[in-house]
Amino acid sequence: MVEKVVLLICDGLGDRPIDELGALTPLEAAETPCLDRLARESECGLMYPLGRGLVPGSDVAHLAILGYDPQEYYAGRGTIEAAGLGILLRPGDVALRGNFATVDGGGIVRDRRAGRIRVVEPLVKPLDGIELDGVTFMVKAGTAHRAVVVMRGEGLSASVTDADPHKAAARLGRVSPRDNTPEARRTADVLNRFIDRASAILHDHPLNIERRRDGHAEANYLLLRGAGHYREVPSFRERYGLSACCIAGGGMYKGIGRYLGMTVLEVPGATGLPDSDVPAKFRAALRSLETFDFVFVHVKATDSFGEDGDFIGKKTFIETIDRAARVFESLPANTLFVMTGDHSTPCALREHSADPVPIMLRGSGVRVDDVVAFGERACARGGLGTLSGTNVMHHVLNILGRLPLAGA
For the bound state, the minimum distance from the C-beta of residue 59 to its own copies, rounded and expressed in Å, comes to 5
- Is residue 404 part of the contact set for its own copies (CB under 8 A)? yes
- Is residue 333 part of the contact set for its own copies (CB under 8 A)? no
Q: Looking only at Cα atoms, what is the longest distance across the chain?
A: 75
Which residue stretch of 232-240, 261-269, 291-299, 379-387 sits at the interface with its own copies (rule: CB under 8 A)? 379-387
Q: Which lies closer to its own copies via its Cβ, residue 34 or residue 392? A: 392
The answer to whether residues 374 and 43 touch, using CB atoms and an 8 Å cutoff, is no
Q: Report the residue from 36, 54, 271, 320 that binds its own copies according to the rule CB under 8 A.
A: 54
Distance CA 261, CA 257 (A): 6
Strand arrangement of the beta sheet that strand 294-299 belongs to? 263-265, 244-247, 294-299, 4-10, 335-341, 357-362, 43-48, 385-388
Distance CA 332, CA 317 (A): 26
139 class by beta-carbon count within 10 Å (0-12 exposed, 13-18 middle, 19+ buried):
buried
Q: Which lies closer to its own copies via its Cβ, residue 291 or residue 398? A: 398
Q: Which lies closer to its own copies via its Cβ, residue 135 or residue 318? A: 318
Evaluated on CA atoms 28, 33, 38, 40, the torsion sign reads: positive
Q: Report the residue from 12, 56, 272, 389 that binds its own copies according to the rule CB under 8 A.
A: 56
Which residue stretch of 100-108, 109-117, 184-192, 348-356 sits at the interface with its own copies (rule: CB under 8 A)? 348-356
- Is residue 193 part of the contact set for its own copies (CB under 8 A)? no
Distance CA 331, CA 104 (A): 55
Which residue stretch of 100-108, 173-181, 319-327, 387-395 sits at the interface with its own copies (rule: CB under 8 A)? 387-395
Q: Which of 178, 198, 299, 203 is nearest to 250 (CA)?
A: 299
- Amino acid at position 206, single letter: P
- Is residue 23 part of the contact set for its own copies (CB under 8 A)? yes
Distance CA 113, CA 168 (A): 9
Evaluated on CA atoms 99, 106, 177, 124, the torsion sign reads: positive
* 296 half-sphere exposure, CB direction, 13 A CA radius: 30
Q: Report the residue from 66, 85, 366, 373 that binds its own copies according to the rule CB under 8 A.
A: 366
Which residue stretches of 101-250 are H helix? 121-124, 182-203, 206-214, 236-240
Which residue stretch of 125-133, 274-282, 298-306, 386-394 sits at the interface with its own copies (rule: CB under 8 A)? 386-394
The answer to whether residues 224 and 75 touch, using CB atoms and an 8 Å cutoff, is no
Instruction: Look at strands 357-362 and 94-103 and give their pairing.
Output: unpaired
Which residue stretch of 116-124, 234-242, 297-305, 362-370 sits at the interface with its own copies (rule: CB under 8 A)? 362-370
Q: Which lies closer to its own copies via its Cβ, residue 33 or residue 401? A: 401
DSSP class of residue 177?
Answer: B
Interface pattern 249-278 for its own copies (x via CB under 8 A): ------------------------------
Q: Report the residue from 294, 297, 376, 389 that binds its own copies according to the rule CB under 8 A.
A: 376
- Is residue 11 part of the contact set for its own copies (CB under 8 A)? no
The answer to whether residues 132 and 192 touch, using CB atoms and an 8 Å cutoff, is no
- Is residue 319 part of the contact set for its own copies (CB under 8 A)? no
Q: Report the residue from 29, 30, 50, 327 that binds its own copies according to the rule CB under 8 A.
A: 50
Q: Which residues bind its own copies (CB under 8 A)?
A: 1, 16-17, 23, 25, 46, 50, 52-61, 70, 74, 76-77, 226, 346, 348-349, 351-355, 365-370, 376-377, 380-383, 385-387, 391, 393-395, 397-398, 401, 403-408
